[in-house]
Amino acid sequence: MEDQDLPYVLEIEKLSFPNPWHEVTFKGEIQNRRISFPFVVVHRPENKVIGYIIFWQINEQVQINNIAVHPDFRRMGVAESVLLHILDNVQKEGVIFVTLEVRPSNFAARSLYQKLGFEVLGVRENYYINPQEHALIMGKPLG
């Protein structure tokens, strides 16, 4: 992900979440290359950004912070492919555990994460706003 991707990323973010990240948040992730890994998914041959993922890698652990796919490209396996690719690559780099937070009401995301072997580890109370909701902490051991 680069600054020139942000108009597309911001559009997908607004279409995907009730409380979208702001541009400054994405810029911070792009600039924080020490631990932050922001990637876009580009549809060929149009060179159109159709999705993105941002995760932090700190030593042997990864935290997936944000993942979204444009509504026109959902239910086509894009998010699953991206997650499988990321999980495979970070495992090769020695990562042993991956976590993420998800709204309990986000059944599509929860279903995907469960399909990929993530399990609910706990709850962060009142984590989300607009609307207010707890977060499920999900995790997956690698290797």
Catalytic sites, residue numbers: 101, 113
How far is it, in rounded angstroms, from Cα 97 to Cα 44?
32
How far is it, in rounded angstroms, from Cα 82 to Cα 40?
10
Q: What's the gap between Cα 135 and its chain centre?
A: 14
In angstroms, how far apart are the furthest CA atoms of the chain? Answer: 43
How far is it, in rounded angstroms, from Cα 13 to Cα 8?
9
